[in-house]
Amino acid sequence: MTVDAEHASPASLVKDPAEWVESRTGFRELAAALLHVRIPAEAQTLYFGGIALFLFVIQAATGTLLALYYKPSPEVAYDSVISIMNDINFGWLIRSVHHWAANLMILFVALHLLRVFFQAAFKRPRELTWIFGVCLLGVTLVFGFTGYLLPWDQRAYWATVVGTDIAGAVPIVGDQLLLLLRGGADVTAATMSRFFGIHVLVLPIALVVLMAVHLTLVHQLGLANPKKIDPMPGPPTGPTRRFFPDYVLDELIAWYFIFAILVVLASLFPASIEAKANPLETPEGTKPEWYFLAVYEFLKVVPRLIGIMLPIIGLALIAIWPFLERGPAVLMRRRKRVVVFATVVLLVGIYFTGVGLNFFPPPPGAGV
């Protein structure tokens, strides 16, 4: 005599807990649906998107641990960071992993978008996937910007002053944007309170929501074929590879490799901290973080209005690019003009970033 799962005795839970859970959740069907992702056999993702997701998980875990001991007040924030580094077991390592994961996450989100752009994987029907990806890059940059102030040392304080000054130079809304970021005319306790709240509450929620939508679109549409555009309407065609376990296993290997790099960087180059922030003492060579250096150095060679507006216009163009390049070509050799133009812009950005890092000499006529 068989017993219907709905009327199963409590003993069935002990005898077959997996079946008991399945009868009440339908988890197997859900897992099968989640693991059914179309992966074209020709797809070359380089695993940049998955690595960025992995780094966000590292960020969330280490950030939670740091928040247990961090005190978001100018009077004690600096001392709490010193205590984390010196008094808490492995506190220096957790902070260093958090620091390097933040930098690598920004790098890999940018690399992921570049890979999608050069492979024309943003074309129909994936326009919305691209737009949400650009939004994820923007949120990730704000993540780095707001977190940079929290140690409240000289470098963090004055880099925030420089960064918010640039935001305040935006035409029409600059003054309001400056007040919104700082909570006043200067970088003060109000600024730290806002940055901390945005960093640990607003941005994580925004990032999780955007990521959920982005991954849902990827799941529903599958990955793009880098050699031909998918037919529309109708399901994508062509040979595929299994998402699980083939692609997942490759992704896990990439995560393991990145985690090893992260631990090495955190161990050999631990996150440092300078003297406590002093609003009355401006240090020499104050610059924003590396991901804003291109804009900072570009402002030295062009009029301020142009230097502010060009990146804003450029970001807007990037977001709507799928609606501007609507041709059927996806191979780079058939998109020569677009690829050459994008490459030149990328090299210019790399050059100005290198100038800010003192890798390259500044262009003639650059200001200080």
The DSSP string of 124-140 is TT-HHHHHHHHHHHHHH
Which pLDDT score is estimated for 7? 54
State the Cα–Cα distance between residues 23 and 186, nearest whole angstrom: 59
**Residue 330 tokens, joined:** 């996806």
State the Cα–Cα distance between residues 95 and 186, nearest whole angstrom: 27
Higher pLDDT, residue 211 or 124? 211
240: helix, coil or strand? strand
**Closest among 269, 282, 270 to 154, alpha carbons compared:** 282
Model's pTM, two decimal places?
Answer: 0.91
**Closest among 297, 288, 291, 285 to 365, alpha carbons compared:** 297
Torsion of CA 303, 304, 308, 311, to 10 degrees: 30
Contacts for 249 with CB less than 8 Å, ≥ 6 apart: none
Which pLDDT score is estimated for 321? 96
Contact 66, 95 (CB under 8 A): yes
Site of tokens 């009355």? 280
Averaged confidence pLDDT in the chain: 89
Q: 253-271: string of b/e by CB count within 10 Å (b at 16+)? A: ebbeebbeebeebbeeebb
Digit-coded pLDDT (tens) for 37-73: 878 888 888 999 999 999 999 999 999 999 999 999 9
Which pLDDT score is estimated for 2? 47
Q: What number of other Cβ atoms are within 10 A of residue 331's Cβ?
A: 12
Higher pLDDT, residue 83 or 242? 83
pLDDT at 366 over 80: no
Digit-coded pLDDT (tens) for 143-201: 999 999 999 999 999 999 999 998 888 888 989 999 999 999 899 999 999 999 999 99
The residue-averaged pLDDT of 129-139 equals 96
Tell which CATH classification among 3.40.50.620, 2.60.40.10, 1.20.810.10, 3.40.30.10 matches the domain 44-289: 1.20.810.10
Q: Alpha helices of 16-126 — where are they, by DSSP H?
A: 17-25, 27-34, 48-67, 77-86, 91-118
Contact 271, 93 (CB under 8 A): no
Give CA angle at 128 (317, 204), nearest 5°: 90
**Closest among 99, 20, 121 to 55, alpha carbons compared:** 99
Which pLDDT score is estimated for 349? 95
Which pLDDT score is estimated for 234? 52
Amino acid at 150: L
Digit-coded pLDDT (tens) for 163-176: 999 888 888 898 99
State the Cα–Cα distance between residues 332 and 28, nearest whole angstrom: 41
What stretches of the chain adopt beta strand conformation (E)? 39-40, 240-241
Q: 180-214: string of b/e by CB count within 10 Å (b at 16+)? A: ebbbeeebeeebbebbbebbbeebbebbeebbebb
What are the boundaries of each domain within the chain?
1-34, 44-289
pLDDT at 368 over 90: no
Which pLDDT score is estimated for 3? 47
Digit-coded pLDDT (tens) for 309-327: 999 999 999 999 999 998 8
State the Cα–Cα distance between residues 232 and 80, nearest whole angstrom: 56
Which pLDDT score is estimated for 89? 94
Q: 19-29: string of b/e by CB count within 10 Å (b at 16+)? A: ebeeeeeeeee
Which pLDDT score is estimated for 337? 94
pLDDT at 1 over 50: no
Q: How deeply is 45 buried, as exposed, middle or buried, from its count of CB atoms within 10 A (0-12, 13-18, 19+)? A: buried
Which pLDDT score is estimated for 327? 86
Range name among 91-95, 111-115, 296-300 with the lowest pLDDT average: 296-300
Contacts for 320 with CB less than 8 Å, ≥ 6 apart: 131
Q: Which DSSP symbol is given to 153?
A: B
Which pLDDT score is estimated for 122? 94
**Closest among 40, 39, 17, 21 to 29, alpha carbons compared:** 21
Which pLDDT score is estimated for 286? 82
Contact 279, 153 (CB under 8 A): no
